[in-house]
Structure 1
Amino acid sequence: MPAVRNVLVVGGGAAGTAAAILLAEGGVSVDLADLKPDVSALGSGITLQGNALRVLREIGVWERVAAEGYAFDTLGLRAPDPAGTLIAELTDIRTGGPDLPATLGMYRPTLARILLDRAAEAGAKVRFGTRPAALEQDGDAVVVTFADGSTGRYDLVIGADGIRSWTRGAIGIDLEPQPVGMGIWRTFTRRPESVTRTDLFYGGPAHIAGYCPAGPDTIYAYLVEDVQDRSGLTSEQALATMRELAGAYHGPWDEIRESLTGAAPVNYTAFESHVLDGPWHRGRVVLIGDAAHSCPPTLAQGAAQALEDASVLAELLLRDSAVTDSLWSEFTARRLDRARTVVEASLQLTRWLLARERGDVPGLMARIAHLVAEPA
């Protein structure tokens, strides 16, 4: 018998939906609440490393994800010169195992829809446009009052509500993500035929100019710069600013830049980071995903670490017959150091870039790849 009978998951992102799927499949009654009115997600594309794909296979969505996304096994490094010269082609480690690709890119809202559809299929009750307004713990349960006035009593509440987690504050954790000093322009547009993997350009006016195929005909492209206040730009000005910054990069970027017209959505986000040091739970409320840790996307491990959190937590809750100190100790032991190592490595890469320092980027990437290749 599982350690819990009914669970509230707060947040319908990757961590929350994965936890909901696994627990519902294991016989637990699951409510999933998300403040958004629907499954649409801010952003353009997402890069999923092999260890993320391993969890997506575990929760039964790998075939759907593979059909919608674009898989590849190499990484290109290019120069910011007039030809976009290819400097190196690196074979990525298949961190999800030999039968899964090293990397897959896809449209972020499509992944959100696949995960939420799977959660509903597994039996989770999904509620959009609502969130908890209050939590009260009484020993073996959490009484939740929702913003619409309804209430529920749960054996466990899982806070998977992102980097600005309401749940984190509600359980008395005073921790806010800190700025890293970089911002990223992102867009989603037509894929040039020559783009069959991620290529990264280091140097030039941007710290990183990169792209990732996200489907048979689409691409996710991005430019990382010193963070600036871009909030006052109109959509037309944002598009023009990204096109101007992209003008320093060539090779496939020439075709990508030409596709950046009014139909291409552009957004800008400042990098932030945090790690909750110590246990991620308080009584019968536990944090996972970006609510517990976040990192700049320099190593493309954010979604993977969130999915691993969900997988390990669900494993322990379905394996044990009660929520005990030993369960929480094992969860902390299996997740905290691993997530912190990934965050620190991501931050090390940002520090090298900000200082214009030639760090051992391939070595750092390989070290993290070998770490996450071992199941969490």
Structure 2
Amino acid sequence: MGLSVLVVGGGIAGLAHAVAARRAGHEAEVLEVRPGWEAAGWGLSLTGPALRALRTLDLADACAEAGHPVHRTVHCDAEGVVRAVVEPPSVLGPGEPVEVGIGRPALHRILREAAAGLGATLRTGVSVASLCHEDGQVTARLSDGSARTPDYVVGADGVRSRTRAQLGLDVEPRYAGQMVWRALVERPDWASDVHVFAGASGTTGVIPISARQAYVFLTESAVEARPAPESELARRMRDLLAPFGGRFADVRDTITDPAQVVRRPVHTLFLTGPWHAGLGVLAGDSAHAPSPQMVSGAALAIEDAVVLAAEVTARPDALPEAFEAYQRRRHERARAVVETSVEIGRRERQGRHDEVRALHQSGHAAMAAPI
């Protein structure tokens, strides 16, 4: 007989766990506090480990078809002169992409449709008001006044997780001193792979996410985490990108509509203590949030979802032990990604770009190890 899980948070980790749980024969309900399924941001990179985890859910091919396969990363200086080309072996095997660039809305749609198609219940506009553990049972009281008594609760509600606080698991996100910018653009013909441009003023790049689209990313360092007027976003991003020339300048000059641009502060965290309390357990950014420099946040989230489902399925009558086994498998891997991403950000701010590339290579090589 299967278990029942209440998943708090309809992002990557939460939806992926709902898919994994349903495939294992468990009941799953996902709660998303936002009234819709809007995805924050334009795109992301599904690295090899992310694709490997998605393959266990039979979703890797769908993501590859919806996105754009990437086989190498081209590192350039601020004028667009190529300084290094990195062609790591594919985690999926010879001939397979190293990663896939994909729009966040496309990835969320694929996960959401897979979860619903497998019979998971998906609800929006509702949150968990309180969690109560009593007599070996967990009761979740929801914001609409209803209650749930699942076998376990997964907190997948992000870096500022309310579930983490409700479980008494204490850690505060730390602002990394950087803002990340993303702009959706038409994909130039030359951007069939990831291109990174590094200069004295920072780092930017172009990541393809479909046959027609790409996104430009920019890391702004040594800046306070203050919001900017939406009407100024496009102009301010172009100003920050002004030091970058060559063919990248043509892409930069297409960033004219503020609706193209999102700007977010970089927050990191790593929960050093237990990731679980009672019958509640954390996954994804709720437990460990790297900065985007390692482009591995999605990979960690999907791996968490898969490993957690495997461990609770193996120990359905001993869930605390299953949670401990899950954390043992995930702890050091997640810690290394978070710490490496923070170090990359520090060296970026110091202009030590050659060292940044070396950290990228070692970090991704470690992530290639089996989960």
TM-score normalised by length of structure 1: 0.94
Task: Please report the RMSD computed on the Cα atoms of aligned residues, expressed in angstroms.
Answer: 1.7
Q: Tell me, yes or no, if the aligned pair for 1:6 and 1:28 is still in contact at 8 Å.
A: yes
Letter in 1 for 2:78: P
In structure 1, give the amino acid aligned to 2:345: T
| Contact in 1 for aligned 2:232/2:258 (Cα 8 Å) | no
Moved more, 186-195 or 348-357: 348-357
Q: Which residue of 1 aligns with 2:186?
A: 190
Shift of 1:348: 1.0
How many Å separate the matches in 1 of 2:297 and 2:40? 15
Query: Within 5 A, what are the aligned runs for 1:142-161?
Result: 142-161=138-157
Residues 150/185 of structure 1: CA separation in 2 closer, same or farther (3 Å cut): same
The SS at the match of 2:272 is coil
* SS of residue matched to 1:20: helix
Unpaired stretches in structure 1, ≥5 consecutive residues: none
1:85-138 C-alpha deviation (Å, 9 max, x unpaired)? 111111023234446411111111111111111100111100011111011112
Q: Tell me the CA shift for residue 264 of structure 1.
A: 5.0
* CA distance, structure 2, for counterparts of residue 231 and residue 275 of structure 1: 23
Map 1:120-199 → 2, pairs under 5 A: 120-199=116-195
Q: Which moved more, 1:351-360 or 1:242-251?
A: 351-360
Alpha-carbon displacement from aligned partner over 1:140-187 (angstroms, at most 9, x marks no partner): 321111001011111100000011101001111221110111111111
Distance 1:275 1:38, change over 3 A: same
Secondary structure at the residue paired with 2:235? Answer: helix
Structure 1 residues 16 and 108, CA gap change in structure 2 (3 angstroms):
same
Q: Is the 8 A contact 1:227 1:270 kept in 2?
A: no
Aligned equivalent of 2:32: 34
Find the partner of 1:343 among 338, 341, 348. 338
Q: TM-score, normalised by structure 2?
A: 0.95
In 1: Cα distance, 2:337 partner to 2:172 partner: 18
Q: Letter of the aligned partner of 1:240 in structure 2?
A: R
Q: Match for residue 328 of structure 2? A: 333
Counterpart for residue 48 of structure 2: 50
Letter in 2 for 1:162: G
Alignment of 1:281-300 (within 5 A): 281-300=276-295
CA distance in 2, matches of 1:89, 1:213: 17
Secondary structure (helix, strand or coil) at the match of 1:53 reads helix
Structure 1 residue 214 displacement after superposition? 0.6
Asked if structure 1 preserves the Cα contact closer than 8 Å seen for 2:230 and 2:258, the reply is: no
Could you say if the C-alpha distance between residues 231 and 363 of structure 1 is closer, same or farther in structure 2, counting changes exceeding 3 Å? closer
Could you tell me which runs of 5 or more consecutive residues in structure 2 were left unpaired when the two chains were aligned: none
Secondary structure of 1:322's counterpart equals coil
| Aligned residues of 1:140 and 1:155 also touching (Cα < 8 A) | no
Please name the residue that 1:10 is paired with. Answer: 8
Alignment of 1:63-82 (within 5 A): 63-81=61-79
**1:160 maps to amino acid:** A
Partners of 2:145 and 2:358 in 1: CA distance = 53
- What displacement does 1:362 show? 3.0
What do residues 245-291 of structure 1 show as CA deviations (whole Å, max 9, x unaligned)?
Answer: 12211233222112212275211111111100122000100001000
Q: Give the drift of 1:229.
A: 4.7
1:158–1:288 contact (8 Å) kept in structure 2: yes
The sequence identity of aligned pairs, in percent, is 33
Instruction: Identify the residue that residue 61 of structure 1 maps to in structure 2.
Output: 59
Q: What is the SS of the residue equivalent to 2:231?
A: helix
Number of positions where the alignment pairs a residue of Structure 1 with one of Structure 2: 371
Quote the residue 2:311 is aligned against: 316
Mapped partners of 2:92, 2:175: distance in 1? 31
How far 1:62 moved relative to its partner? 1.8
For residues 56 and 139 of structure 2, the distance between their equivalents in structure 1, rounded to whole angstroms, comes to 31
Note closer, same or farther for the CA distance 1:227–1:147 as it changes in structure 2 (3 Å cut).
farther
Which residue of 2 is the match for residue 20 of structure 1?
Answer: 18
**Counterpart amino acid of residue 133 in structure 2:** Q
- Judge conservation of contact 2:312–2:323 (CA < 8 Å) in 1: no
Q: What SS does the corresponding residue of 1:250 show, helix, strand or coil? A: coil
Question: In 2 relative to 1, CA 45–227 (structure 1 residues): closer, same or farther, beyond 3 Å?
Answer: farther
Q: Which deviates more from structure 2 when the two are superposed, residues 123-132 or residues 229-238?
A: 229-238
In 2 relative to 1, CA 98–158 (structure 1 residues): closer, same or farther, beyond 3 Å?
Answer: farther
Q: How does 1:257-272 map to 2 (within 5 A)?
A: 257-262=252-257, 264-272=259-267
The amino acid across from 1:26 in the alignment is A
Moved more, 349-358 or 53-62: 349-358
2:19 is aligned with what amino acid?
I
